[in-house]
Amino acid sequence: MIKYALKCTEGHGFESWFQSANAFESLRKAGHVSCPACGATRVEKALMAPKLAPKLAQDSAPRRPPPAAKATLEDPDVATALKRIKAEVEANSDYVGDRFASEARAMHLDEAPPRAIHGEAKPEEAKALVDDGVPIMPLPFRPTRKTN
């Protein structure tokens, strides 16, 4: 079996496995290899980096990188970065509170003018937005509640 990185004439990249190089060529020429994104059958091999195993000395054991230190919220650098992100979000978007899901959906459906918003959504509301293709992102902090 051989794995190829492929690219269609529309520029979509994808990977696929074939029994052999000859099998790929015969399937491609017959129009049986198609892009999963657009269905184009004009497909070519794309540039691909080979997977090489590291060369090990005979008398040494495989070396593994040391485990990375995990950042925590108590880390001063992390806390400072979160404060900066929070300030940026709150300064450049409107707080809509628990109306977040309905506001985001209305903008996605072009029923409301687009703008940057932040607020709260119940887990099932957030999942429904994601399932419907509404671009949302959880924030790593609780918003400062604003009152009128």
Task: Give pLDDT, residue 144.
Answer: 77
Q: Is the pTM of this model over 0.75?
A: no
Residues 63-72 pLDDT 10s: 666 666 666 6
For the cut 60, the answer to whether the pLDDT of residue 123 exceeds it is yes
Mean pLDDT along residues 35-61: 74
In degrees rounded to 5, what are phi and psi of residue 7? -145, 135
Element (H, E) at 87: helix 76-92
For the cut 60, the answer to whether the pLDDT of residue 59 exceeds it is no
Task: Give pLDDT, residue 76.
Answer: 78
For the cut 60, the answer to whether the pLDDT of residue 58 exceeds it is no
